[in-house]
Each structure stands twice: as C-alpha cells, then as structure tokens.
Amino acid sequence: MTRILPLLTGAAVLSAALLSTGAQARTLKEIKASGTIKIGTNAEFKPFTYFEGKTMKGFEYDLGNAIAKQMGVKAEWINQPFDGLLIGLNQNRFDLVISSHGVTPERAKAVDFSAPHYCSGGLIVSRPGGPKTAADLKGKTVATQVGTTYVDQIKKVTGEKNLRVYPNNANALQALMSGRVDAMVNEKFYGLEALKLNGKKLQQGEMMFQEKLAMAVAKGNSTLLSAVNQNLKTVQANGTYAKISKSYFGQDVRCK
Ligand code: ARG
C-alpha cells in the first residue's frame, strides 16, 4: 500500500537542509586525491537515473560519468529518496547531486547550482477522458512526488486539498493508473515514458510550466562548482552530450 507522506513543503525541507550544515564539503583537490566523486541521485526516474536489474542507467547517469571522467575521477552513485538529496548534500554524504532539480530561488539559498544541464518542464498525464490542461485540473485530485517543483504548480491550480504527494514517482503513477487520483504532473520525459509503457490506458495533457534543471554542490563549494561547469561545457562542445541525449530522448535537450 502506498503511504501518502505528510505534506512536507519545500520550505520545511530546505530549512532542515540549512540547519544541518556544519561538516566541510570536499574541495575539488580532495575529490581528485581520493580518485572518486560521490554523486547522489533518486534512481527511479526513467530515463534520467533508474535501475535495470542491479545496473544504474540513464541520461543523468551517463552525463555524470562523462563529467567525472573529464575530471579524472571515478563516479560513485548513491541512490536515495528525492526529498533528502539536498539535505544529504549539505551533510556531505555526497559531493554532487544530479537528480533533475529545477533551479528555484528557494533551493538556491541552500545549495549552489551548476549551469543547467537540460531544459524541460512539467507535463500533465491522465486517463482517457480526464483533465488535459491546467484549467481542467481545477477541483481534480493530482498526484506527484514529494519535494518536487510540481507540488507548488499543482497547488496553484487545484489547491492543497486536492494535491496527493507520494514518496516516489512509481507510487504517483500507480495512483493514477488505479483511479485513486484524476491526473499526475511530472517531468515531461518521465510522463512520456509512462505513456509509452501504458498504451491506451493513459493520455497526454499539456505542459504546465518550463524549468531549468541543474546539478547541485554544497553551498560555497566553488572549486567543485567551477570544475563541474567547465566539464559540462566540454562535453557539450565535444559531441559527448549530444550523443548521450539523443540515445535517451531522440533529441538534444540542452537549454537553448
Ligand atoms: N524537476 C522536479 C524538481 O525539480 C522533479 C525532479 C525529480 N527528480 C527525481 N530524480 N525524482 O523538483
């Protein structure tokens, strides 16, 4: 059974993140000396980071590995729930977070974001006959993942009482498929993947909003941040990024 989490607001999550700082983030030099960069992600987000059996895969997985390679280190991936990732970063459980975080002013108070590694947004998905536009969502129950930017967007159109937050995306999708909610709002490419897998049981609605997605380092970790930005630029210039992007999305998803 799905347990619906209490409504943790972004603000509550982030004030916890801010309070938990203290330990010192590893500098680029320290990461290089250790030979390994630790990257936190929520790997149930196909096609970004996900598991096929015991193997992690995805656009962000390949991109993170390409950036690590440019830095001359190995990537060690740590999988954990989405709403704990920025907190974990400030507790130095990892050096870098790559998990499709939309850049928001609120998050930017707690962590430092890289240049965006792709541009996308929130897509409405429902069952045939269900809501397809933001206007249609008014008065309908809508599922999404806890701690995400979709939460605020959904609240704006249908109000807090119609919002259903789930610990992960698979639970939100399951709630939609089984008729417990009227719609789901999620990352565009996650939604398209769900549509591909579930054929006629689901229908595609409109894009609700656009966002820039970026990688995060602990606040003030400037040596690591500039290395990440510089290496992102390199893989975007040398064809690596385009190749990875096309293999997952059939298109280049960098911000234009
Ligand atoms: N883009 C959304 C946000 O910034 C959702 C990201 C969810 N990512 C994940 N790996 N589950 O909040």
Give me ligand 1 centre to Cα 221, in Å: 22
pLDDT mean values, one per 10 residues, the chain (256 residues): 47 52 84 98 98 98 98 98 96 97 97 98 98 98 98 96 96 97 98 94 97 97 98 98 98 97
101 within ligand 1 shell (Cβ under 6 A): yes
Give me ligand 1 centre to Cα 18, in Å: 19
Ligand 1: residue whose CA is nearest its atom 6? 100
Say what the pTM is: 0.92
pLDDT of residue 15: 54
pLDDT of residue 199: 83
CA-atom Rg of the chain in angstroms: 18
For residues 119 and 103, give the distance between their C-alpha atoms in angstroms, rounded to a whole number.
10
Give me ligand 1 centre to Cα 33, in Å: 31
Give me ligand 1 centre to Cα 245, in Å: 18
ipTM score for this prediction: 0.98
Residue that the structure tokens 């998990």 belong to = 99
144 within ligand 1 shell (Cβ under 6 A): no
82 within ligand 1 shell (Cβ under 6 A): yes
